[in-house]
Amino acid sequence: MLFYKYYFQMFVHFGKTEKLLNVYEDELISCDNCNETTVTYRIVQKYYQISGIPILPAEKYTGMSCDNCGYGSNNVISENAKTYEKLSKTPWYLYTGVAILIGTFLFYIIHAIYAAIIK
């Protein structure tokens, strides 16, 4: 039984992955560390995947980094971060797994109806 479990895990990988959606440079906000106005926001979307195929998008977060001193932080909660997060839409291809499952389900339903009509 252990062999089958190892064999399955070797070819099918489950997990949560991140995708960088957008990068915004904001020259109106100053860095918390050095007070320079060279702040860059990164909008990142996490999603679930199976063997590299995206299944469902998960949470979205905003990271901030300073181009001057290198200071950075994740999960920034500010008005600018929320605005940039709203501007960054979730890509449609992160729903690929859901589309495959719905397509398969609809195929089997249509096939069952067709087989019932023919019978």
What are the residue ranges spanned by the domains of the chain? 13-118
N residues, the chain: 119
Q: What is the full per-residue pLDDT of the chain (119 aa) written as tens digits? A: 555 555 655 667 788 999 999 999 888 888 878 888 888 899 999 999 988 888 999 999 998 888 888 888 888 888 888 888 899 898 998 888 889 989 999 999 999 999 999 87
* Cβ pair 22, 11 in contact under 8 A: no
